[in-house]
Structure 1
Amino acid sequence: MTQIGGSSKLKTLSQALGGSDAPKAVKPSQKLDVTLTFDTTGSMYGYLEDVRNQLNHLSQEIRQAVPQAKMGVVAYGDYCDAQTTYVTKVLDLTENYQLISNFITQVEKTDGGDFPEAVEEALYQTNQLAWRLGSRRAMVLVGDAPPHGVIDSLQACQYGHNWRDETQSLGKKGIKIYTVQCGSNPDTKRVFQEISQITNGIYLNLENMSDLVDLLISICMKEVGLLAEYEQKLKTNNSLNPSKEKLLRQLGSASDK
């Protein structure tokens, strides 16, 4: 695992959007801790690149609505990547959006090798993050492949971490996992659904890559009770296409969670 502290070379992302259609900020005491966890293997790297292209939008919306938000990032490949890039690369929860920008901009693509990826290691590393007491806690897992130990042997989990054990541990800490499946592999769907169910999170299937950033923002807004306001903002800006509206309906239908 590679732990990143980051540098301060890029322009700050901390400027907030103005305008009367922006979601109102939550109470100052409201804290949100959220991690973005991405599969960075070849089939998935384009999704991360899309997030890169909309970093200003992502950071500004969250910073304005949730001033005390902290964000972490966990990038993961597979065990075969250990000697060339990384199995996991981690940015701990931080309020410094410059570090987040640096990390997402610079994180490398991984190879992945076989179909399952080291999702179990991403879950393990998320368990190690500095979650704040009293915060709303969420993990957004974005991938197209299952962890090891689902369609292959548990012995394929080379570092000895089991996806179900790590998921249960996250759930006990009050961390909801929003699983975002890219593609339609049935094994991925089955295990991503179970991961979300264990943690009282939500399983979502992403039909269009271009919807990802607004989905990430919407998940944060849901956690602090501002999903309806953000949906209205998307409507006002003519940014709510049918596939995005479907995702928001799924988030809204689980409002009791």
Structure 2
Amino acid sequence: MEKVETKLHLPALKKPSGSLVVKKDDKPVKTFSISSVQKQGALGNILKGESIRQKMHKEQQAHKGLDLVLMGDLTGSMYAYHAILKRKFTEICTTLFQLIPNLRIGIIFYLDHGSGDVYVTKVQPLTVNVEQLQTFISGTPDGNGGDSDEAVEDALYDALEMNWSEINARSIVLFGDARPHEVCACPHQYDYFNIVRLLFEKQVTINTVYCSTGVDYRRLTELHKVGIGDFSHRISRLDDACFFSWIANVTGGVAIGVQQIDDIVDIIKAMAAKDAGKIDELEKEELKITLRPIPALVHIKEQAKLIEEKKKLLGYK
């Protein structure tokens, strides 16, 4: 029996003119690409990683406080400042620990080499124990000092080894009236220029208080101008006031002189509040007590604004 071939005839779609119409899809056909999927997966991991890092950063910022190191000359000419610090330290701590969350305070006192004194530097690591800090301040003796320069370089070296927090902002308030020794005159061959550079790289801000009435306290910043972080030109044998100006300017700190010895208390509070981002709050609290602006605090606040503008231009956080 013969097979009959059956053909299925479908009507052609026609335009009104009668010509055939080729039907096209409105949307292009999607193609599957393994490489694009892999890229998307990698991007997802990156975004996920970024999200984790952002959360960690926010968490750190929420717990960020201040590591404050008071670094002071206790040679003969600085006796009166040490006496005030002994007397007023509890007041300083009461203000700052209430104002600044997660605050820790450390202390480095220094004298000089070869002067017959019982120490060159004495270090109290960073702590929250106010009683321990007060005992350290009261129990550290003053000294005589040797030549006109003092062992500032030794104190700066000790600051490198301080128990700095990984999270907190890092601040030094250096008060004294004499410059450090050059390398050739330091028994340990400490190079203060390189030590300051290393401290800056550790994100330590050095604020300075030049304890002499020979310079207008508002002019100290202008004595040795230098860009923040500019260690391209080595400095040496600066006079005392210029050294205190340089070291603050190059690390993004504030340099100030004192009009009266008692000013050291307000200056320490203001420097710490500045580096903790709490200077406005300190100003409000102090106004409740003094009923008038404190000149040193106002000056430090003005200088801090200028420094922040410079940091933004240079790309520093």
TM-score bin (small chain): 0.7 to 0.9
- 1:247 CA displacement: 4.3
Any idea what SS the aligned residue of 2:63 has?
coil
Distance, in Å, in 2 between the alignment partners of 1:39 and 1:121 is: 11
Distance, in Å, in 1 between the alignment partners of 2:202 and 2:192 is: 16
- Which structure features the higher share of helix residues? 2
2:154 match: 121
- 1:130 partnered with 2:159: no
Structure 1 window deviating more from structure 2 (83-92 vs 118-127): it is 83-92
- 1:240 CA displacement: 3.7
Contact 1:32 1:68 in 2 (8 A): yes
Distance, in Å, in 2 between the alignment partners of 1:66 and 1:244 is: 16
Distance, in Å, in 1 between the alignment partners of 2:302 and 2:192 is: 28
1:139 match: 172
- Cα 1:214/1:67, change in 2 over 3 Å: same
- 1:77 CA displacement: 0.4
Contact 1:77 1:110 in 2 (8 A): yes
Any idea what SS the aligned residue of 1:237 has?
helix
- Cα 1:248/1:207, change in 2 over 3 Å: farther
2:81 match: 47
- 1:74 partnered with 2:103: no
2:94 to 60, 85, 101: 60
Structure 1 window deviating more from structure 2 (125-134 vs 199-208): it is 199-208
Distance, in Å, in 2 between the alignment partners of 1:223 and 1:248 is: 11
- 1:30 CA displacement: 2.0
Contact 1:204 1:250 in 2 (8 A): no
1:232 to 278, 284, 294: 284
1:99 match: 132
- 1:174 partnered with 2:203: yes
Distance, in Å, in 2 between the alignment partners of 1:243 and 1:126 is: 26
- 1:250 CA displacement: 3.3
The one-letter amino acid paired with 1:87 is V
The one-letter amino acid paired with 1:122 is A
The one-letter amino acid paired with 1:94 is T
- 1:51 CA displacement: 1.4
2:269 match: 217
Structure with larger RCO (C-alpha < 8 A, sep 6+): 1
Distance, in Å, in 2 between the alignment partners of 1:243 and 1:224 is: 17
- 1:109 partnered with 2:142: yes
Distance, in Å, in 1 between the alignment partners of 2:110 and 2:281 is: 33
Distance, in Å, in 2 between the alignment partners of 1:95 and 1:51 is: 17
- Which structure features the higher share of strand residues? 1
1:34 match: 68
- 1:160 partnered with 2:193: no
- 1:253 CA displacement: 4.1
- 1:205 partnered with 2:234: no
Distance, in Å, in 2 between the alignment partners of 1:192 and 1:222 is: 18
Q: For structure 1, list consecutive stretches of 5 or more residues without a partner in the other structure.
A: 1-26
Contact 1:219 1:251 in 2 (8 A): no
Larger radius of gyration: 2
- 1:85 partnered with 2:114: no
The one-letter amino acid paired with 2:78 is M
TM-score by length of 2: 0.67
Deviations 1:33-68 (A, max 9, x none): 010000000001211211111122111111111231
The one-letter amino acid paired with 1:115 is S
Deviations 1:184-214 (A, max 9, x none): 3771121122211222212111222111111
Runs of 4+ in structure 1 over 3 Å off: 239-257
- 1:161 CA displacement: 0.4
Contact 2:254 2:300 in 1 (8 A): no
Distance, in Å, in 1 between the alignment partners of 2:69 and 2:79 is: 17
Distance, in Å, in 2 between the alignment partners of 1:244 and 1:132 is: 27
Q: For structure 2, list consecutive stretches of 5 or more residues without a partner in the other structure.
A: 1-60, 216-237, 312-317
